[in-house]
Structure 1
Amino acid sequence: MSIEVENITKLYGAQKALDNISFSVKKGEIVGFLGPNGAGKSTLMKILTTYIGASEGTAKVRGFNVNIHKKDVQHAIGYLPEHNPLYLEMYVKEYLAFNAGIYKTPASRIQEVIDMTGLSPEAHKKIAQLSKGYRQRVGLANALLHDPSVLILDEPTTGLDPNQLVDIRHLIKNIGKDKTVFLSTHIMQEVEAICDRVIIINKGQIVADKKLKDLRDDKEQIVVVEFDYRVEDAFLLKLPNAKTVKNTHGFSYDISFSTSEDMRSHVFDFAHDNQLKILQLNQKNASLESLFRELTS
């Protein structure tokens, strides 16, 4: 196993941030650690990376106990914390060279991670000059410098614009082909776009652990569509297999369907036949959203 968590509890005074949680992650899996803010996600990340200790229980990374073999764990892990700490006054290559020296990593690895993370166009700049998306790339490049087998990413897409989101998602997905990725987020779309499996935590306890494939096999889905003007709910309910319609904001609607067939093409044809313009069209996993709301509300 790449990650093993067994009966971990973390106390802050009388408050239980983590309450006797257990799970394991196999080599090569991309696992989404999903939960509302304050659920305990970052606390577990800090325990796995040896930053803080657990009050009870044991955790291992690649067989190394996080309390006993801290150096071995740190070499096995690449970590991108929620608030990506960077030296803004340093140049990208300078910053990576500085960290490569700490890891005793060959200098040739610097250009490899720059290419891997798509940093080449900005590599000559100071980090302070970079956009949030490119700063996240610098953080990922730094996490990959010592070629770790396990990547732990805490809220890696927070604050990114839609284009940056797509780029970072694609990058993480590619990295996951060769490494185990444990990804913390409170955004369900991130899990659906990147992960093979989801673990949901609420109030310090694991409340679900499921393969995304099993959730996708459920015959339910939500199509998110934005039109150029308001449409009556009853009109949209004429779509085949439509169950409910919710006007989320403006001219945007969540339409739930009771079928496993991808209904986006039907929504597109429906709009065309009724002279509607579509400004946005996406699909969400209704099962994951329903499960999350049911378990964390």
Structure 2
Amino acid sequence: MRLEINNVTKKFKHKTAVNHFSMVIEENECVGLIGPNGAGKSTLIQIIADILYADEGSIVLDGQNISKKKNQIGYLPQYPNFYSWMTAYDTLLFMGTLSGISKKQLHKDIPLILSKVGLSKEAQSKVGAFSGGMKQRLGIAQALLHKPTLIIMDEPVSALDPIGRREVLNLLKEIKSETTILLSTHILGDAEEICERFVVIKDGQKIEDATKEQLLHRNQESAIYLVLQKDDVDWLEKVAQLPYVKKVENYEEGFKIHVEQVQVDAYRLLQNAIDQKIAFTKFEIGVKESLEDTFLTLVVDV
């Protein structure tokens, strides 16, 4: 399976929601499409799912236009809609029939898919009584029912409480070993937990496409993080004048000292502090930036 998004543009009146966007997703990848609210994520997701039409560009799955491969795609909207009076089993039976799956096959597959998403005991319960997390799990079951090679999810956990979010995240961890996933979200912790690769979108444009390790490494700094006693803070004025120190700045409850070679310079700085009888309550070196820090660096205008 290979999904190609080629130079896609979508406009609504005077607003360009997606602007010449391109990317490729290979088989068995779990890709996070991340960006702030209003960045164009949902619009792009709906174009890929063939719900909206692009004004320019194309979406190709395994060499064919996406409209000819819809049976290979599972789609989970941010707020899946179900008939509240239907049971979970009947909901999947109804939607599977609409997708052209035979009832014989559905009666065989529905118990299996309900078990996969943890809803076996609720098979005959009405959807109207489901919690948000249960509805989202049923939505994932519906998206997986026809055995797609690609599943697309638009903010699958953003509207859930912590328990519902954990349920869905655990489920996504299980199914990503079997299915290629494109996950749209603005919750960085969720993306970091599930995805190996991240595509960052801002104002409808792709501004970054990298693995988690690449993003963190690119934004990792050679720095020393420390917390001092108040009586010793004046020492930092001397530290700022040291030849191997590039900058001293406030960081959380303490300070971040930017240096040239973190391992060597940390030893030199520590020795200097001992000579000056400086006391630390915290001294760390080479701490990586979080994915959230990296994301903010990319999308926030300075």
- Normalising by structure 1, report the TM-score: 0.76
Pair 1:98 & 2:94 matched = yes
1:162 matched to which residue of 2?
Answer: 162
Structure 2 vs 1, CA of residues 161 and 20 (structure 1 numbering), >3 Å: closer, same or farther? same
Structure 2 vs 1, CA of residues 75 and 256 (structure 1 numbering), >3 Å: closer, same or farther? farther
- 8 Å CA contact retained: 1:96, 1:142: yes
The whole-number CA distance in structure 2 between the counterparts of 1:158 and 1:4 is 27
- 8 Å CA contact retained: 1:169, 1:190: yes
- CA apart distance, 1:292: 1.5
Pair 1:73 & 2:69 matched = yes
- 8 Å CA contact retained: 2:216, 2:294: no
Runs of 5+ consecutive residues of structure 1 not aligned to the other structure:
222-232, 236-242, 247-253, 260-273, 275-283
Structure 2 vs 1, CA of residues 295 and 213 (structure 1 numbering), >3 Å: closer, same or farther? closer
The whole-number CA distance in structure 1 between the counterparts of 2:123 and 2:255 is 44
Count how many residue pairs are aligned between Structure 1 and Structure 2.
Answer: 247
Amino acid at match of 2:149: S
Pair 1:84 & 2:91 matched = no
Q: Deviations over 1:64-119 (max 9, x none)?
A: 213xxx2x322010000112111111110010111121223312111111011111
Amino acid at match of 1:290: D
Amino acid at match of 1:87: Y
- 8 Å CA contact retained: 1:218, 1:287: no
Aligned residue for 1:163, secondary structure, equals helix
Pair 1:292 & 2:299 matched = no
- CA apart distance, 1:220: 5.0
2:188 matched to which residue of 1?
Answer: 188
- 8 Å CA contact retained: 1:19, 1:205: yes
> For the aligned residues, what is the CA RMSD?
2.7
2:252 matched to which residue of 1?
Answer: 245
Aligned residue for 1:286, secondary structure, equals coil
- 8 Å CA contact retained: 1:197, 1:212: yes
Aligned residue for 1:169, secondary structure, equals helix
- 8 Å CA contact retained: 1:220, 1:257: no
Amino acid at match of 2:120: S
The whole-number CA distance in structure 2 between the counterparts of 1:218 and 1:20 is 25
The whole-number CA distance in structure 2 between the counterparts of 1:255 and 1:131 is 45
Q: Deviations over 1:171-211 (max 9, x none)?
A: 11211101110000011111111001000000010011110
The whole-number CA distance in structure 2 between the counterparts of 1:134 and 1:25 is 29
Q: How does 1:1-297 map to 2 (within 5 A)?
A: 1-66=1-66, 70=67, 72-105=68-101, 106-107=105-106, 108-217=108-217, 220=220, 244-245=251-252, 286-297=289-300
Aligned residue for 1:104, secondary structure, equals coil
- CA apart distance, 1:256: 8.7
The whole-number CA distance in structure 2 between the counterparts of 1:97 and 1:257 is 61
Runs of 5+ consecutive residues of structure 2 not aligned to the other structure:
222-226, 230-249, 263-280, 282-286
The whole-number CA distance in structure 2 between the counterparts of 1:211 and 1:147 is 27
Aligned residue for 2:141, secondary structure, equals helix
The whole-number CA distance in structure 2 between the counterparts of 1:153 and 1:255 is 40
- 8 Å CA contact retained: 1:92, 1:124: yes
- CA apart distance, 1:287: 4.3
- 8 Å CA contact retained: 2:9, 2:54: yes
The whole-number CA distance in structure 2 between the counterparts of 1:90 and 1:144 is 19
Structure 2 vs 1, CA of residues 291 and 43 (structure 1 numbering), >3 Å: closer, same or farther? same
The structure whose Rg is larger is: 2
- CA apart distance, 1:127: 0.4
- 8 Å CA contact retained: 1:216, 1:287: yes
- CA apart distance, 1:234: 5.6
- CA apart distance, 1:219: 8.2
